[in-house]
Amino acid sequence: MTYSASTSDWAVEADGLVKTFGTNRAVDGIDLRVATGTVYGVLGPNGAGKTTTISMLATLLKPDAGSARIFGHDVQRESQVVRQLIGVTGQYASVDETLSATENLVLFSRLLGLSSSQAKVKAHDLLEEFHLTDAAKRPLKNFSGGMRRRLDLAASLIAQPPLIFLDEPTTGLDPRTRMQMWDTIRRLVSTGSTVLLTTQYLDEADQLADRIAVIDRGRVVAEGTSNELKASVGESSLELRLADNRDLDDVRVAIERVLGVDPTVSPEAGRITAPMNNPDRVTELLVTLREEGIHLAELSVAKPTLDEVFLTLTGRGVDDAETENTAELEGSRA
């Protein structure tokens, strides 16, 4: 089957993907375009539909509606072709726990058509590359989280697929292991791979991804480069805690007037948060507050978090989205 070169600029093209589990529309019309040779981040809270989306793109789940193509090949009609072009690493696509690291890599290499001796060489090379040689024969039960992820990733790279799906590659890893994982992913990209990764951490998408799609409740709510996204939520946010909660309204008015932005008020905590587009004007705000005789208990500047991206883009916090969707999605994957 041949395809015109024009479709090949995109590693991933998804149009209106829909997946429903029972009454829950886990993925509700997602469009994605991932350019070949780039890292694309899909950012969203638990249950936003990230894993479901990847599962459909990786031919593990059948979309209820919509279509997707990997390097121009339809995921449903040419699923076997697509499987030759992708590597999948995630919380789900894992390795066989009863086998050792070497046995796993040899098994997958053999399944991918390598001869017995080629498979051994491949397993050896990959273990070395991912610093797992010392643990090659140990049972996987004794592997740390970071070692498990590395082995998972190594297993996805046997066929050197031009597109790699990484589903939350660093969730649950300690900061040091997370950095190592990021280095590995960067190295991967330098060899010409296209990477589509999902994450709950804005920081991670920021570090790795050329473009980011923010998804929530199965929909893409924002798409762009990390700078574009951050610009939309403000580089950082200013957080004020007041000595007297009765001043909250006055402060809100002052912020709207001086900073020209719409702050978020948490009356219970006596806290008020505002996007900080222009740090210079904060001084003016503070002067205004002093002139009005309003006392602050605490003042801090917070970098944008996923929570704020969410608040800004959806008008809702991460927690709401999580409690609504997680339970049903987790259950339906079994």
Partner 1 sequence: MTTTTITPSPRPTTTIVPGVQRTLKNRVSIAETLSHTVTMAYRGLLKIKRTPEQLFDVTLQPIIFTLMFTYIFGGAIAGNVQNYLPIIIPGILVQTVITTSVVTGVQLREDMDKGVFDRFRSLPIARIAPLSGALLADTVRYLIATTLTITMGVIMGLRPAGGMGGVVAAALLVIVCSWAISWIFAFFGVIARTASSVQGISMLVLFPLTFLSNAFVPANTMPGWLQWFVNINPVSHLVTAVRDLMNNGTFGADAWISLLGAAVIVAIFAPLTVKAYMRKA
The strand pair at 24-35 and 10-21 is best described as antiparallel
- Does residue 103 interact with partner 1 by CB under 8 A? yes
Q: CB pairs under 8 A, 24+ apart, for 221-225? A: 221/313, 221/314, 222/309, 222/313
Among 27, 43, 155, 229, binds partner 1 (CB under 8 A): 155
Residue 135 amino acid letter:
A
- 3 state DSSP class of 142: helix
- Does residue 162 interact with partner 1 by CB under 8 A? yes
- Does residue 58 interact with partner 1 by CB under 8 A? yes
Closer residue to partner 1, CB minimum distance, 36 or 332: 36
CB of residue 122 to partner 1, shortest distance in Å: 9
Among 70, 127, 147, 202, binds partner 1 (CB under 8 A): 70
Closer residue to partner 1, CB minimum distance, 183 or 228: 183
- Does residue 136 interact with partner 1 by CB under 8 A? no
CA distance 215 to 195: 17
- Does residue 185 interact with partner 1 by CB under 8 A? no
Among 134, 139, 227, 301, binds partner 1 (CB under 8 A): 139
Among 72, 169, 218, 304, binds partner 1 (CB under 8 A): 72
Exposed/middle/buried for residue 282 (C-beta within 10 Å: 0-12, 13-18, 19+): middle
Q: Which two tokens stand for residue 264?
A: 């978020």
- Does residue 112 interact with partner 1 by CB under 8 A? yes
* CA geometry: angle 20, 25, 26, nearest 5 deg: 85
Among 38, 84, 171, 305, binds partner 1 (CB under 8 A): 84
CA distance 28 to 31: 10
CB of residue 188 to partner 1, shortest distance in Å: 9
Binding mask 250-289 toward partner 1 (x if CB under 8 A, else -) reads: ----------------------------------------
Among 35, 76, 92, 287, binds partner 1 (CB under 8 A): 92
Q: Which stretch binds partner 1 (CB under 8 A): 23-31, 75-83, 170-178, 197-205?
A: 75-83
DSSP for 22-67 reads: TTEEEEEEEEEEEETT-EEEEE--TTSSHHHHHHHHTTSS--SEEE
CB of residue 32 to partner 1, shortest distance in Å: 16
Closer residue to partner 1, CB minimum distance, 120 or 219: 120
CB of residue 191 to partner 1, shortest distance in Å: 5
C-alpha to C-alpha distances, 330 to 7, 24, 264, nearest whole angstrom: 34, 12, 32
99 CB neighbour count, 10 Å cutoff: 14
Size of the site for partner 1 (CB under 8 A): 57
- 3 state DSSP class of 263: coil
Q: Which stretch binds partner 1 (CB under 8 A): 54-62, 212-220, 242-250, 285-293?
A: 54-62
Helices (DSSP H) in the chain: which residue ranges? 50-57, 79-85, 101-111, 116-129, 145-156, 175-190, 202-208, 226-233, 248-258, 280-291, 306-314, 318-333
Scanning the structure block, which residue is given the tokens 């944008």?
Answer: 304
- Does residue 26 interact with partner 1 by CB under 8 A? no
Binding site for partner 1 (CB under 8 A): 1, 3, 5, 8, 11, 36, 58-60, 70-73, 77-81, 83-88, 91-99, 103, 107-108, 110-113, 121, 124-126, 129, 139, 155, 159-163, 187, 191-193, 334
